[in-house]
Amino acid sequence: MDEESRYRPRQFEELVEDSDVSLLNEPMCAAVPLRPAQQRSLYAVLVEALIDVQALCARLEAGVHVQRDAQREAVRALYVASRNQAKALIACLELQGLE
């Protein structure tokens, strides 16, 4: 590589020809949350869990297509469990002095 092209951004064609694998075209094998290493408060964890469960319930309420009737029961059980978990999380968040 000559000195002049060393400090210029590479063109798309050069990137395609490159043998290095990009993270953009790799399948995601495990989702890792991007959070600081410090421990978060219990309240923050409960709030995040409640938001996630409410999003799941909303998605299930919007409709889920299953291929077999046997799968319908599993989705229904997930919905009921999610609703119960949301109620439990709300009850815990309303507790006084929770740390």
d(CA 66, CA 53) in angstroms, rounded, equals 21
Structure confidence by residue, pLDDT tens digits, 27-82:
555 555 666 657 888 899 999 999 999 999 999 999 988 888 888 999 999 999 99
Q: How much is the average pLDDT of 15-23?
A: 55
Number of other CB atoms surrounding residue 47 within 10 Å: 14
Look up residue 88 and give its two tokens. Answer: 């439990």
**pTM higher than 0.75 for the full model?**
no
State the pLDDT at residue 87: 97
State the pLDDT at residue 67: 86
Burial class (CB in 10 A: 0-12, 13-18, 19+), 89: buried
